[in-house]
Structure formats: structure tokens, C-alpha cells
Amino acid sequence: MRPTEPTQAVAERASIGSECRGIPIRTPDLANRYLVIPNTALSEPTVSIEVVADNSLTREMLCGFLGSEDDFVVIRGVSWNEADRRSGAVPPDVIVLDIDEISSGAVRITRSLIRAFPDAAIVVLNSGGPGHVLYDMLEIGVRCFLHKGISRTELVTSIRGVASVENQITVTVPREFLTCGGPSSRGRLSAREEQVVRLVGEAMTNRQIANALSITEGTVKRHLRSIFDKLGAVSRIDAVNRYRTLEGRQDSA
């Protein structure tokens, strides 16, 4: 049976020729020798996430299951109104927007979030609607557009993807969502909507437009909401300018 080696000899062999990387610990009896202990406590990179959803139950569910991922940290969950008023907050890596209906107001707030947090990847969860809203959102800077029919795994994978690859754009939607609303059909107004937007361009009020077309003011407002959504406009002037640009392209085609 071999005699037990002196502690000094063990320490010398552990320190000489060791290829381990870690925390050096000075041995008490060797002034110039180190015993290297591997450091396995290196932290994994994390993705900080903000969730924006008006429905409190949806917001809590998203915050809950995203926060359960080891590499995700949910720093806050807010409503759309709160998101619009909070420009000085700590910037997240990813902002998840739950949008049931992509209206002109939702587009405006999304734009403001992109301006406030230019380095954050915007992820939109949408339940469906006119196909052109996908292209509208991608145009203003949204990096990930997902249909709410996706699985939890697909959502988590998509968030990791846009967080790790700066120029990546991820789209997961049903096929019909694209075929019914591609660029060729974007901004296509009905004949009545074209009449309304042209009268808006003449600086007419809703009441004046209603009188001119023999319809109610409520009908004028409904037409304007549809016009705003189809053109991605945020104001009456913006709608007129977008319509004129679109009309000019169609005339030159």
C-alpha cells in the first residue's frame, strides 16, 4: 500500500500544468503556488421582456409563462394606455404586443414604442384581420408578427430568435392571411370610402360629408375608421395624403 503523499506534493501537481480555468485559491503553505478550482457558476445571457396587453388576464398569463423560461426576465406588464405614457422606462430587449384589432391607435402607439426603444425587438400577437395589417406593421419596424393560434413553444422560439439576431424578421400566420391581404390589395378602398376621403381632402367636416352623400354622421365615422385601418393612417390629413399617393401609383401603373 502506497503511503499517503504529502499535501504539498498534491498541491504542486494541481497547480502545475493544470488547464482548468476558474478561481485561483492561494494555498496557505505555498507562497507562489495556486490550486485551481473550476468555476461552473457562469451566468447565461437573459432576454428582458415587456408585455403590453389591455386584457389583464391575457397580460398575466403572458407574463407568467414567459417568466418561467430560464433565459427570460419579464420586467413589466402594462396596458396600452400605460405603454403610451411610459417613455422613460428601462429599455427591454423585446416588447410583446397583444393586439386583437390593429387600429390606427394601435399603429400610433407601436410607432411611439419603436421611437422610445429603438433597440428593442417588437413582437406582435394578432388574432387575425385584414391581411394588409401585417405589411403595415412590418413597414413601421415590427420585427415579429405572430398569429395567436401558435403554440407556446413557437412563441418562445420566435422571441429568442429576434432577440439574438438583430436583422431577423419572423412571421407566423395562416396562408390565407397572406393571400387575402398582400401588397396588391393594400389600401383598396370601396367606392363610398373613396368619396369620403376625397371630401375629407376638401376640408369638409363629418356633418358636411354626411349631407353631401345623404348618409348619417355615424356612417361617415365608420367609413373613416375603415379608411384609417386600410391605409394605416393616424389622422385625417395622413389618410388623404396616403390615398393620393396610392391613387398616383395606380394611375401610373
Give per-residue pLDDT as tens, 105-145.
Answer: 777 888 889 888 999 999 999 876 555 667 778 888 899 99
Which pLDDT band, with edges at 50, 70 and 90, does 25 fall under? very low
- The grid coordinates listed for 48 are 428582458
* pLDDT for position 88: 58
* pLDDT for position 220: 93
- 200, 240 contact by CB (below 8 A): yes
> In this structure, what DSSP letter does residue 63 have?
H
* pLDDT for position 45: 79
- 63, 51 contact by CB (below 8 A): yes
* pLDDT for position 19: 44
Is the pLDDT assigned to residue 37 strictly greater than 90?
no
157-178, pLDDT tens digit by residue? 999 999 998 888 888 877 766 6
**Least confident segment among 8-17, 85-94, 162-171:** 8-17
- 228, 239 contact by CB (below 8 A): yes
Is the pLDDT assigned to residue 236 strictly greater than 60?
yes
- 88, 112 contact by CB (below 8 A): no
* pLDDT for position 23: 45
CA distances to 77, 81, 113, 231, 232 from 85, in Å: 14, 7, 10, 25, 22
Average per-residue pLDDT for the chain: 78
- 158, 146 contact by CB (below 8 A): yes
**Distance, CA of 3 to CA of 35 (rounded, Å):** 22
Cα torsion 208, 214, 218, 219: sign: negative
- 96, 111 contact by CB (below 8 A): no
CB atoms within 10 A of CB 59: 18
* pLDDT for position 126: 86
More confident residue, 250 or 91: 91
3-state secondary structure 212-229: HHCCCHHHHHHHHHHHHH
Nearest to 124 by CA among 152, 153, 102: 102
Is the pLDDT assigned to residue 8 strictly greater than 60?
no
Please enumerate in sequence order all residues whose Cβ is within 8 A of that of 14, keeping only pairs 6 or more positions apart, or say none. 35, 36
Identity of the amino acid at 163? A
> In this structure, what DSSP letter does residue 55 have?
S
Bridge pairing between strands 72-78 and 47-52: parallel
- The grid coordinates listed for 71 are 433565459
14-24, pLDDT tens digit by residue? 444 444 444 44
- 34, 15 contact by CB (below 8 A): yes
**Distance, CA of 99 to CA of 51 (rounded, Å):** 11
